[in-house]
Each structure stands twice: as structure tokens, then as C-alpha cells.
Amino acid sequence: MDKQLKDFNIHLQHIETLAPKINQGIQIILVINGELHVETNSRYYHLAAEDLLIINHNQLFQAAGSNDNRTLMITISDSFMSNYYEAYHNSRFDCFSREIDLGKESIIHALLKLIAETAIAHFRKNEGYKIEIQSHISEILLILIRRFRTESKSIQRVDSEDKQIQQIHSFMEENYDRPITLDDIADHFYLSPGYLSRYFKEKTGIGFKRFLMNIRMEHALKELLYTPYSISQIAINNGFPNTKSFTSLFKETYKMTPTEYRERHQVERKDKVTYYEQDVEFNIISFQNILGKLGIYMENTNKRFNSTETRMERVEIDINGPIIDDPIIYRPKHNLSIGELREILKDSVRTQILTAKKDLHLEYIAVRNLIHGTTIIPEVETDEIIATTSPYFDLDYALNFLRQNDLSLFVRVDYREITRDEDQFFTKLRDLIAHCLNLYGNSFVETWYFMFYEPYHTGVSPNELKRVYTTLYRNLKNIIPSINVGTFIPYSYQTEKLSKQHVWMLERDTKIDFFAYEANQNEIIDFEELGDNRFSLEKDYIKNKTLKIKSYLRKHKKDRPIHMVSWNVLSGNTRHTNGTFFRGALIMKSALDVARDVESMGFWINTHQHEKLGKNRKIRLEGMELYHYFSGKRPAFFAMHFLERLQGELIAVGEEFVLAKNERGYQLILMNPNNVNPYYSIEETLMNKLNKEININIAGMEPGEYQVRKRVFDKEHGALYTKWWELNSKYGMDEEVIDYIVNTNQPSLELFDETIGDEGTLSLYSYLTNNAIHFYDIRRTWN
């Protein structure tokens, strides 16, 4: 008789043969040397060295090994699993290391390391080794449950496309060993027993009770053949009310008693296995050699893995399915706000601009105070006939830089800047435009944008605002008719209209080339109110506001291009939460949401420039920064860079993924966007609950050889503040530390070679932490 299993059994063994048997508990098989052939009731496995296989509860299996075979087997008992995991009997773990989805390599590495640590602890038996083993086993089970669990299913018996009958059948398969009745199932599926009985007979051609008994009989038959259990124990194990009912149904089905059937058909159950322990039956040198091979798994820990509980999502994509309505990848122009134009005189700012130009396809540089700021040098009295100094010296240097790099100006002109000395302002404006035309020509200057700006809440009358804007418009258009002159539209998301001071923008005689707007959740959300319902309701705030503005303008016959000059995803209105809450996927999703509707998207160069402009460090962080101090790249930079890398045409789009096809192959972007209040979500344990697993199956791909490049952008790979915190010190940082942070702060890169067979299917696995982005570049290769 088999001995009662303990919680865990750990054996190093040479397997010649394992007779067919029904597995009890969870069996972890790791081949260390040689080969092992395993056959289950559903398929055949060939395992070589370093291969890992999980045999599930109640699964029929047998095995045969090579002469040099050395196999580690860890058995976790049914009783342990049932005590600590309620869903155990309805679960199976689909884990064969040779056939994992692309992207699960780090999880297999984690499992191998834990299995090796378990075995070494067992054989060395150091102080506290039992506690150590239990810790490792628990971690192994958490990984299996959270990364490899699938619903327990038997062979499909129901030849029906009816989803409800399939669900009922699955429920019966999962609960056949319990005393379930027709009433129980009717109650579970909110049906009447009478209706369920008729419905079941109509769909399956067999009565409910007989169908359930046939399921029980199939499972009981395996136990009869492959276990030493008594007839009464088999009946109880498989849900029969008593031994008599089981025997009667068995005789009716097989024309003999269970005992007679066992005697006639029972297979040989004798195993041919040699067990090794450190102190018996095994050469000590060979044993240490085996332990040394296990140690290799413990060293292979380069890839990080988190076994935290996550949400699971499965996505099926058929490339040959229906064509999506709008396959175009829209690319709004990018507009970078730097403060005053003279900031370009700084080497660091020029470097940041050129990096954004190269990686983000930057087109506009947004500036303030062009006329009354410090870019134009005050004139100095001189007795020179021809002045050797020019008030435009700094301005010319900056404009030359822009022209040489194919960049244009986006100028914000405030009402107060104009009306401080209106005559002087327009005189200086005309002189500046004339100077630029003489020096650079019309083709450069006509690409500029001038945006008139007055805040949401203003005491200025609508007639006065209209008069000043019209004067600005007329002065610019008289010199360059093709220049772009527009206005900031202070549209209220809550009231869905403009204030009475700004309605002049909608009047028919007001000429406006474009409208500009801001989209920032701070407008509608009080971050310090934990119970603020608007917080969860407005997760698509940026998209919704953009569409509302377009509809509002169209309604008033002002259908003009719109520019999103300032925007932000949920981050709060204080610097103290910035950085704690990683926002990469939120930024990318928001950009994708509005890409087809906006002419340009605005960014800040960095907080430092704007704080200096405002003369303090208490500005509200409402802009989307590309950089932080010392030119470190912020998440917005990498998120927008990923969008720039997306090429070709869209062939599949979901809430949290985008798949494109181009001449080199395919590109897939996966996102895990989550709107959470940063004031109440800084705890690491809370953030981990937002992590997500995605299994994607792409069908219809062209067979062949591919190189897959996977870039991971998350809090550990590309989040500047994470690096900043890791290397922080009360004694400060020098140039060496800062350079290291800036240079190492980027998304990770992994490379895989993948063969897609004639079935044209590629399976990918991604573990995305909160607001992570995974970018797959799936390139066809040619030999």
C-alpha cells in the first residue's frame, strides 16, 4: 500500500519506469541529467536536462527514463493544497518549460531557482531547513497559481455551440465529486429545475442525472485501474452516494462488477525507481555534482520577477479578421515649451531640444514674453553712425538654431503683456517681424504660431478682449498673411461652455486660425478627497475634453484646428506625490486617444525652467515634462518615443493594446493604465495589486523566422525618480552619480529568436506592473 503523503515529498531519483497511475497532489518534475519521457492521458512529453514539468491532481501519467537519468521530484499533497487553496480542485497548472509563451522566461527562471533552493535545503538539512522548505514551496505555489493556473477541464462531451450548456457542463466537471443535484445547478445558474431538466435533455440528448453519473463513472474507472483504493473509497471519491449505487451503475455499464473489472483489466503498478539520499546508495562525489548543477539555477537570477497577485487578461487577435475602420497611425506635431526664447542660449537646453527633435519629431518651440521679456536686449544710446550692437543679438542666435534644425516658433502672447504699453508692444512686434523677414525670409517666419492668452477667470470685458486680439491679428496678418494667429479657449469641462468674457471667440466676425486648450484633471478633481466620485468617473478626461471642445466649436461654426498646449494625467497638485506614482501607460493611452483630433500636443522642457520663470518653487506641476533637472528623461519622453517608433498601419486595437503591421513585420504595444489617487496610493503593496498579466495569442501571421525585440518601460526601467531615490544620499550627489542616473535611465531591451510555424500563431506573455508599457518589435528575418 502507498503510504499517506506528507505535506511535501522531495526525492532525487533515477527513473527507469513509472507505472501508469493517477497523480495525487501536485507533482513537480525537474530533469537534471539525461532524459525522461512522460505520458499523460492527454499528451506525450520529452524532457531533457533542465526541463520542468508539472503533473496535476487527478491526472493519469506514466514515465520512462534514460540510463543516465537523474530527476528531482517534489510532491505537494492534496491535503496541503486543499487546506490552503480553496480553488485547488477546480484548477490545473499548465507548466512545461519547453512550451511557455514568449515572455515567461523570467518566471521559469524564478521557479527553477526556488526548486533548487528547496532541494538543497532538503539534502543539507541545515538548522531551520523545514521552515526554509515551506517558504520555498509556498513561493513556488504562488507562482503556479498566479502565472500558470487554468480552469480544470475534462474532454469535451457537449457538441453544442450553446454557451450556457457549455458553462453548465463545466460546472458539473468541476463539482462531480460533490453531492450536487439538479436543484443546486438550477439555483447556481438562476434557472428553474423544471426548465433546466428540459433544456439539458434537449441540448445533450441525455437526462441530467445520467449525464452527471457518466462523468462520475469516467473518473471512477481511472481510480479503479490505477489506484489501490477500495471500491467504497472510489465511490465516495467520485460523488456516488454509496457503494451500492456505484456498483449497480457499473454493472449496468460494463456488464460486470467493479471488482471483476479490476481483476481483468488492472495494469501493472510496479515502479522501477532508484532513490538517492546523501548518506545512502549514492556516491558522495556524484551527489555533490548533482547539488552543484542545482546551484546553477540559483546563480541564474539576472531577470527580476515579482510573484505578487495580479489581474489576468487573455487577448485573442486574428490578423485575418475584420479590417478596423481607421488603420491610420496619427501623429500630431509636438510643441515644446521652454519659457523665454533666450533659454536656447544654454547648452543644456539646446541638447534637450535636439534630443526631442531626433527622438520625438519635435516641430515647435513654445515661448512666452517674446517682446517684453529678456530675449530682446534693451537698446543702448551710442554715437556710432551704424550701431555695432543689436537688440536682436540673443534672439538671432536662438532663431538661427531653430531654423537650422527645422523648428518653428509657437508664441504665447498674454493680454497683460500687450496692454502694459500697447503702442510700444505693437511697434516692437512689427519691428521684430520685419527684422526676421529681412534676415530669414518669409518661408521661415510664416510657419510661426501666435496664441493670444487670457486666463479662465478674468475681470476684462469681452469687448476689450476682442479688441486686443483683433489688433494682434491685424498687425501680424498685415505683414505676413499666411502666419497663424489664434487664441487660447478657456473651455469649462464642467459647464461645457465658455465664460461670458470669452464668448466673443464664437462670433462670426472674429477671425481665428486655430484654438488652443489645456487638459488637466486638476480642473475637476480634488485629490485630497478620497471619496471624490469624479476621480473614477473621469479616467478618460483628456479624451472627453478634447471631443467636447471639437463638438462645441463645430456647433458654433468655428471648426478650426485645435492645439493641446498643456495637459497632464492624474498626478495631484503637489510635487510631493510626483515620482511615486508612475504614469507611463496613462500618458501613452491619453496621447493615442487624442492623436487624430489635435494638430499638436504641448510639453514642458523641465520644471526648473518654469520655476525660474515664475521666480519660485511653488508652481503647480500641470505641464507634461520631457526632462527633469540635469537633462534626465521623464516618463513622457519615453512614452512619446514609443509612439514615434510605431510604424505602418493598425490591424488591431483594444483598450490596452495596439497592433500594427509594416514592411519589416509587426509591432505590438501593451499597456496597463490605471487611474489612482497618488495621495492614497503610495504604498507599494497597494500599487502591486494593480499589476497585470496579459497572454496574447496572435493568429494569421506569415510563417517564418522572426526576431522579437521587447522593450519594457515601467517603474524599474525608465522611471527617473526610481533611479534618483535608489542613489539618494543625505550628503548629496556629485557629477558622477548624476551622469550615471541620466545614462542608465531607460527602458530595458530583450531579444528573442522565434519561429512561427505553418499555423501562423505567436503566443506572447507579459507581466505589466502598474502603468507599464511593453513594446514588441516583431521583425521578419531572411537568410
| 346 touches 362 (CB < 8 A) | no
**In the 8-state DSSP scheme, what is residue 317?**
E
Which residue do the cell numbers 468655428 mark?
558
pLDDT tens sequence across 125-184 = 888 889 999 999 999 999 998 888 876 544 444 555 677 887 888 788 778 888 888 888
Q: Name the residue among 682, 654, 678 with its Cα closest to residue 668.
A: 654
The conformation of residue 311, written as its DSSP 8-state character, comes to E
Asked if residue 114 has pLDDT above 70, the reply is yes
For residue 677, the model assigns a pLDDT of 66
Cell of 579: 515620482
For 629-652, the pLDDT digits (tens) are: 777 898 999 999 999 999 999 999
pLDDT at 517: 95
CA 141/CA 135 separation, integer angstroms: 10
Q: Does domain 334-643 have CATH number 3.30.2320.30?
A: no
Residue 430: band (very low, low, confident or very high) from pLDDT cuts 50, 70, 90: very high
DSSP 636-703: HHHHHHHHHH--SEEEEE-SSEEEEEETTEEEEEEE------GGG---HHHHHTT-EEEEEEEESPPP
Spatial separation of the C-alpha atoms in residues 499 and 489, rounded to whole Å: 10
Res 342 pLDDT > 90: yes
Question: Which of 22, 16, 6 has its CA nearest to residue 56?
Answer: 22
Residue 8: helix, strand or coil by DSSP?
Answer: strand
Across the chain, mean pLDDT equals 84
Give the confidence band of 215 by pLDDT, cuts at 50, 70, 90.
confident
Q: In CATH terms, are 314-326+675-780 and 334-643 the same topology?
A: no
77-91, 119-133, 677-691: segment of lowest average pLDDT: 677-691
**Quick one: residue 643, left, alpha or beta (phi over 0 = left, psi -120 to 50 = alpha)?**
alpha
Confidence band of 345 (pLDDT split at 50, 70, 90): very high
Closest of 527, 533, 566, 562 to residue 548, by C-alpha: 562
Question: Quick one: pLDDT at residue 533?
Answer: 55
Confidence (pLDDT) at 352 = 93
Q: CATH code for 163-265?
A: 1.10.10.60
- In the predicted model, what is the mean pLDDT of residues 438-461? 93
The set of cell numbers assigned to 88 is 485547488
User: What pLDDT is stored for residue 30 in this prediction?
Assistant: 94
- Shortest CA distance to 582 belongs to which of 569, 566, 594, 567? 569
State the virtual CA torsion across 275, 278, 280, 281 in degrees, nearest 10.
Answer: 50
| From 132-136, 472-476, 534-538, 613-617, the region with the lowest mean pLDDT | 613-617
Helices of type H across 98-228? 105-124, 129-147, 163-175, 182-188, 193-204, 208-226
Cell numbers found for residue 680: 492614497
| Homologous superfamily of domain range 314-326+675-780 | Glycosyl hydrolase domain; family 39 (2.60.40.1500)
With a CB cutoff of 8 Å and minimum separation 6, the contacts of 755 are 704, 705, 706
Which CATH number does 8-151+277-306 carry? Answer: 2.60.120.10
Across the range 608-613, mean pLDDT stands at 50
- What is 60-126 written as a DSSP string? EEEEEE-TT-EEEEEEE-HHHHHHH-TTGGGEEE--BGGGPPBT-HHHHHHHHHHHHHHHHHHHH--
More confident residue, 539 or 5: 539
Q: What would the mean pLDDT of 504-525 be, rounded to a whole number? A: 89
Question: Where does the pLDDT of residue 2 fall: very low under 50, low under 70, confident under 90, or very high at 90 and above?
Answer: very low
pLDDT tier at 618, thresholds 50, 70, 90: very low
pLDDT band at 616 (very low <50, low <70, confident <90, very high): very low
Interacting residues of 133 by C-beta distance below 8 A, sequence separation 6+: 8, 10, 118, 121, 122
Predicted pLDDT at 597: 96
Rounded percentage of the chain residues whose pLDDT exceeds 90: 43
Q: What is the DSSP letter of 630?
A: G
The stretch 15-27 carries a mean pLDDT of 87
Please, where are the H alpha helices in 378-461?
Answer: 393-404, 415-419, 422-440, 442-445
Distance in angstroms (rounded) separating the CA atoms of residues 45 and 635: 44
Among the residue ranges 349-363, 372-386, 504-518, the one predicted with the least confidence is 372-386
The domain segmentation of the chain, as residue ranges, is 8-151+277-306, 163-265, 314-326+675-780, 334-643
Provide the pLDDT for residue 280: 47
pTM value is 0.74
pLDDT at site 567: 92
Q: Quick one: pLDDT at residue 571?
A: 59
pLDDT digits (tens, 9 = 90+) for 556-598: 999 999 999 999 887 554 444 555 678 899 999 999 999 999 9
Does residue 726 surpass a pLDDT of 70? yes
Query: Is-contact 96 150, C-beta < 8 A?
Result: no
